[in-house]
């Protein structure tokens, strides 16, 4: 089963990468008013059903894929 973990900087946490991208967009003339840069992980999980896949994904996102001090995440289960 495939799950996607979307990781974003927590609200209020400085994101120099997003700021630099935002400035570049503005330089190109886009009406950008702020960018927050995150990460996407597509994980193939051997799980019997959706709820097992989701709980496994949440666990590995908390333990490994994110640092909860500065990042938040969302889990999407496919299929």
- Find the binding residues for other proteins in span 14-53 (CB under 8 A): 14, 16-17, 19-20
Q: Encoding tokens for residue 79?
A: 């299929």
Structure tokens at 23: 């400035």
Judged by CB under 8 A, how many residues of this single chain contact other proteins?
11
DSSP string, 33-46: ------EEEEEE--
Q: What share of the chain is helix, strand, coil (3-state, %, to 5)?
A: 35, 25, 40
Piece of the chain touching other proteins by CB under 8 A; list 13-21, 28-36, 45-53, 54-62: 13-21
Nearest residue (CB) to other proteins, 2 versus 39: 39
By residue count, the chain amounts to 79
Q: Is residue 67 involved in binding other proteins (CB under 8 A)?
A: yes
Residues that bind other proteins (CB under 8 A): 13-14, 16-17, 19-20, 64-65, 67, 69-70
């Amino acid at each position: 089963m495939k799950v996607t973990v979307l990781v974003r900087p927590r609200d209020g946490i400085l994101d120099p990468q997003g700021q630099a991208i935002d400035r570049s967009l503005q330089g190109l003339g886009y009406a950008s008013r702020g960018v927050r840069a995150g990460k996407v992980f597509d994980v193939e999980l051997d799980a019997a059903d959706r709820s097992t896949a989701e709980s496994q994904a949440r666990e590995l996102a908390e333990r490994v894929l994110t640092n909860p001090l500065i990042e938040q995440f969302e889990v999407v289960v496919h299929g």
